[in-house]
């Protein structure tokens, strides 16, 4: 088609057929390339969508008033009461929600991080291949169990059969039905697979030569594992910790079911608490009118959650890049 319109001299030049000219095959290639690029760009669009939606409802609205145009950001960050449903004087201090979130994520971290790291060390340094073949699938199954199941487990088993007998009956500390401890325990179990598999990858990437050198200097296996291999893989281990904590902070269903819905500024893990995620779920369960202050507070809380988890993820990637030990 285009060939016919070209002048004879160009035709002669192109007769080598290696120069670029129009053909339907080539056009199709370009169209396919464009379509595939759009598929890839959809992920960028998702991020843009999340940021735009949160920004529009929380920070500056183009079609109404956003959350932070009504509530000042200092009130939001430093007020100690979260009572959005109060009929006369609603108060929006996110501290109680932040407290619940971090107490539960902290408890989860105390339980999940050491256990995850220890099993990673075991799998990479001590375990025989047969053992790995058994343990790996079990960890995959643990990682694949829906979080609503963990929530049920915490509420129906951990609290009545583990926490109450130990702490209430023996030690005399009263344990609420909904409490942060049970939520923290199951969140800890939930992050074990993340920590374990990411840390194990980091440990296994440490070259054999370093271990051999350690043994040659008279180290025991314990010394080599803990003083050579773990420091060498530290960036990967730290990154796995950060990712796991970010996951614990963003965890929703288990926390909603097990920790209750009382926004409470306390460090006592045996009381009920409300996390940021649980607040979002509880509000959306009720009949909240779109456009009301309560509805907008949802976006403000989600924005805080997004900022926290995103910065932890970015930090994890930075740690990985900055402190990576590169071996030949």
Partner 1 sequence: MSVSGSLREPALAKRHRIGQLFEWACCGSTWFGMVVLSLLLLSIGWKAMAWPIPDADAVDRAAATKTDAKANALLSPRPLSTRFLTSYDSRVPQKAGIKAALWGSLWLLVFVTITTVPVGVGAAVYLEEYSNEGRWKRIIQVNLSNLAGVPSIVYGILGLTVFVRMFGLFGHDGKVLDFNLGFAMLSIPLPFERSVISGALTLSLLVLPTVIVAAQEALRAVPSSIRTASYALGATQWQTIRHQVLPAAMPGIMTGVILSLSRAMGETAPLIMIGALTYLAKCPGKIDSLSAVWQHPTGLLEAPFDVFTSLPIQIFNWVSRAQPEYDHLAAAGIMVLLVVLMMMNTAAILIRNRFQRRTQW
CB of residue 88 to partner 1, shortest distance in Å: 28
Q: Considering only residues 6, 47, 72, 169, which one is a binding residue for partner 1 as defined by CB under 8 A? A: 47
Q: Report 188-227 residues binding partner 1 (CB under 8 A).
A: 189, 192-193, 196, 220-223, 225-226
> What separation in angstroms does the CA of 103 have from each of 23, 28, 248?
64, 56, 11
The least CB distance from residue 4 to partner 1, in Å, is: 23
Q: How many CB atoms lie within 10 A of CB 151?
A: 23
127 lines the binding site for partner 1 (CB under 8 A): yes
Give the shortest CB-170-to-partner 1 separation in angstroms.
21
Residue closer to partner 1 (CB basis): 99 or 154: 154
Give which of 194, 190, 167, 187 is closest to 106, Cα–Cα. Answer: 187
Decide whether 213 or 314 has the Cβ nearer to partner 1: 314
Min dist CB 233 to partner 1, Å, is 15
In angstroms, give the least distance from the CB of 56 to partner 1. 8
Cβ-based nearer residue to partner 1, 58 or 103 = 58
Contact pattern for partner 1 over residues 153 through 192, marking x by CB under 8 A: x-xxx-------------------------------x--x
Q: Is residue 49 at the binding interface for partner 1, with CB under 8 A as the rule?
A: yes
The minimum distance between CB 214 and partner 1, in angstroms, equals 13
* Partners of 82 in beta bridges: 92
Least CB distance to partner 1 at residue 114 (A) = 7
Q: At what angle do helices 95-121 and 180-204 cross, to 10 degrees?
A: 40
Distances in Å between the alpha carbon of 279 and those of 100, 130, 189, 269, 301?
11, 45, 23, 18, 8
Q: What are phi and psi of 83, to 5 degrees?
A: -140, 70
* CB-based contact 109:188 (threshold 8 Å): yes
Compute how many residues bind partner 1; rule: CB under 8 A.
90
Kindly report the CA angle at 193 between 134 and 140, in degrees rounded to 5? 50
Q: Give the C-alpha separation, 110 to 191, whole Å.
A: 11
List 257, 273, 300, 319, residue binding partner 1 (CB under 8 A):
257
**Which H or E run contains 91?**
strand 91-92
Interface pick for partner 1 out of 91, 266, 310, 324 (rule CB under 8 A): 310
């Amino acid at each position: 088609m285009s060939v016919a319109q070209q002048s004879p001299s160009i035709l002669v030049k192109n007769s080598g057929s290696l120069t670029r000219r129009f053909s339907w095959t080539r056009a199709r290639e370009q169209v396919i390339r464009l379509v595939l690029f759009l598929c890839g760009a959809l992920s960028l669009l998702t991020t843009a969508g999340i940021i735009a939606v949160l920004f529009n409802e929380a920070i500056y609205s183009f079609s109404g008033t956003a959350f932070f145009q009504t509530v000042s950001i200092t009130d939001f960050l430093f007020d100690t009461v979260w009572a959005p449903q109060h009929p006369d004087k609603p108060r929006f201090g996110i501290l109680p929600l932040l407290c619940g979130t971090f107490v539960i994520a902290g408890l989860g971290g105390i339980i999940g991080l050491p256990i995850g790291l220890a099993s990673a060390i075991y799998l990479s340094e001590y375990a025989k291949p047969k053992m790995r073949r058994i343990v790996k699938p079990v960890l995959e199954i643990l990682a694949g169990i829906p979080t609503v199941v963990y929530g049920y487990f915490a509420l129906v088993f951990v609290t009545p059969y583990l926490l109450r007998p130990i702490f209430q009956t023996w030690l005399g500390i009263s344990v609420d039905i909904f409490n942060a401890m049970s939520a923290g325990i199951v969140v800890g179990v939930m992050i074990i697979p993340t920590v374990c598999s990411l840390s194990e990858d980091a440990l296994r990437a440490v070259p054999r030569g370093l271990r051999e050198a350690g043994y040659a200097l008279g180290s025991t296996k314990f010394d080599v594992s803990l003083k050579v291999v773990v420091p060498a893989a530290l960036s990967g281990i730290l990154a796995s910790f950060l990712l796991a904590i970010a996951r614990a902070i963003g965890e929703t269903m288990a926390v909603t079911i097990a920790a209750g819905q009382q926004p409470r500024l306390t460090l006592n893990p045996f009381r009920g608490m409300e996390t940021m995620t649980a607040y979002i779920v509880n509000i959306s369960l009720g009949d909240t009118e779109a456009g009301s202050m309560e509805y907008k507070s949802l976006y403000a809380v989600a924005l805080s959650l997004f900022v926290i988890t995103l910065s932890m993820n970015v930090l994890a990637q930075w740690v990985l890049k900055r402190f990576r030990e590169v071996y030949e």
